[in-house]
Amino acid sequence: MSDVPVQISTVDGVLRITLDRPSHKNSLAPSAVRAIVEALERAAGDDALRAILLASSGPDFCSGADLVAANPEDGERPRVGSLQRRTALQAHRLIEMIASIQLPVVCAVRGWAAGLGCQLALAADFAIAAETATFWEPFVARGFTPDGGATWLVPRLVGVARARELLLLGEKVTGAQAAEWGMIHRSLPDGEVADAAEALVQRLARGPTVAIGLAKACIRSSLELSLVEAMAKEASALELSSRCSDFREGLAAFKDRREPVYRGR
């Protein structure tokens, strides 16, 4: 993937995805989106993986989709519905994979997280941001409507009133304020973000992988279900997780009064 500005590697059970286009504030061209989606699709079926770290090189996390790269250079007007078709296969597929993959996703944010970059952080299970980071939904301010799951993610994290501030007025939010609002997991001084994200992803990688994945799926679906339906899904997840060797290790560790050693199985 040398021609794609994304670094993708696997180390000790952690899939590491690093946006690597600092000269363009790590804006995502269609080729980069495809590379990340393909990596996530492979990860979803890889039993050796236990967590995902999404980070960036340079001073900014991601300034959003690269609209220049996404449009034809010849200036020819695309067919009606082109944007709707491409968005579903590109930005929307990426956010769907981040949110739904049954591996915990940690996102480290410094500098700008705008548009699609903001959605990447919000769709992750744990976003750790620099206190000085800037989260921005610039869509309406630029004359078009939000995408990338913004209208689904933001209200659920901060409530409707604040979502209107972000999505309709285009107000910017610092990392410190985002943490205060509950948009992200936590904010830290700039120099501590990378180490904190690494520590968290390592902690998750040592956890009971199947149980974490099933619990993640239950949390996500519970927002759309009644209590009875949510508990039915919990029961199914409990049935599956209780058949794992990690479940037996957890019980044994509790009995022996020691820390469990989970294998992700």
Picking from 53-62, 81-90, 108-117, which range would have the lowest pLDDT averaged per residue?
81-90
> Measured between alpha carbons, how far is 8 from 101 in angstroms, rounded to an integer?
17
Which strand (E) or helix (H) includes residue 51? strand 51-56
* Position 163 confidence tier, pLDDT thresholds 50, 70, 90: very high
Mean pLDDT of 163-192: 97
Residues 99, 124, 216, CA angle at the centre, nearest 5°?
Answer: 55
Contacts of 10 (CB under 8 A, 6+ apart): 16, 48, 49
Q: What is the pLDDT of residue 76?
A: 66
Q: Is the pLDDT of residue 231 over 80?
A: yes
Q: What is the pLDDT of residue 1?
A: 44
Q: Is the pLDDT of residue 141 over 70?
A: yes
Q: What is the pLDDT of residue 54?
A: 98
Picking from 60-64, 75-79, 219-223, 225-229, which range would have the lowest pLDDT averaged per residue?
75-79
Q: What is the DSSP string of 107-130?
A: EEE-SEEETHHHHHHHHSSEEEEE
Mean pLDDT of 9-34: 94
Picking from 111-120, 139-148, 228-237, which range would have the lowest pLDDT averaged per residue?
139-148
Q: What percent of the chain has pLDDT over 90?
A: 84
Q: How far is CA 81 from CA 2, 87, 147, in A?
A: 32, 10, 15
Instruction: Give the model confidence (pLDDT) of 41-76 as tens digits.
Output: 999 999 999 999 999 999 999 999 886 555 555 566
Residue 192 has phi, psi (to 5 degrees) of -105, -5
Q: Is the pLDDT of residue 2 over 50?
A: no
